[in-house]
Amino acid sequence: MEDLAASAQKIAALMRLLTSTGGFRLKFRITAGAGAADPDGFERRDIYVECKGPDGELLTDRDGELLRAFEHISAKILSLEADEHDRVSFDVNGFKAERAQGLREAAEDAIDHVQQTGEPFHFPALNSRERRMLHMFLVDSGLRTASSGEGPRRHVVLYPAGFEIPVERPSFGGRTAERGGSRDGRGGPRRTGGDRGGRGRY
């Protein structure tokens, strides 16, 4: 990334455009450098944009779709490579912190489920950032994880120790030819977070 101060100024210009011409009713604060670091140590972020205001809920609709769009546009403005996109992070009204806590709790529930039943646990579809978070939360469980599915259906699966993870095959003509793509690899139906009734929204 170029000079952080210059990068922050570019993001500030984008936010001014969004709140003036774009009409978003938002206030924002931009932190660059050491102060922008993720307090949980998950992301390597160099610029943190904290938003508040009447239109904050618009940014968190559809699991934060617009919030991610702001991040994507910012990454393009700063000419970041795909693996550097997390270096610019947007949040609004503590949304990401709440999502992270929900994912951590969902991971704990899934670990209990797999250890008690010996069956794989399929989380709901998540964006790439949240899938990485889940993998991180699950890494110390001693169980194996893998991502499954394609595009908007891509999700994390937690497998029991010693379970043979199905090998997925590429899709053809909109249909996916894979083993275990919609089943758990033992002939049973795929389990999702909603099966456990508590934190299925993650």
Give per-residue pLDDT as tens, 50-107.
999 999 999 998 888 899 899 999 999 999 887 777 788 899 988 888 888 899 999 9
- Same-domain pairing of 86 and 103: no
- Same-domain pairing of 33 and 83: yes
* pTM tops 0.85: no
Give per-residue pLDDT as tens, 141-166.
989 999 999 888 999 999 998 888 88
| pLDDT given for residue 199 in this prediction | 35
- Report the half-sphere exposure of 106 (CA within 13 A, side-chain side): 29
Confidence band of 2 (pLDDT split at 50, 70, 90) = low
Select from 58, 78, 93 the last residue of a domain: 93
| pLDDT given for residue 190 in this prediction | 38
Angle between helices 95-117 and 128-138 (to 10 degrees): 50
Report the CATH number at residue 119. Answer: 3.30.1370.50
Contact criterion met (CB below 8 Å) for 26 and 18: yes
Give per-residue pLDDT as tens, 102-146.
999 999 999 999 999 999 999 999 888 889 889 989 998 989 999
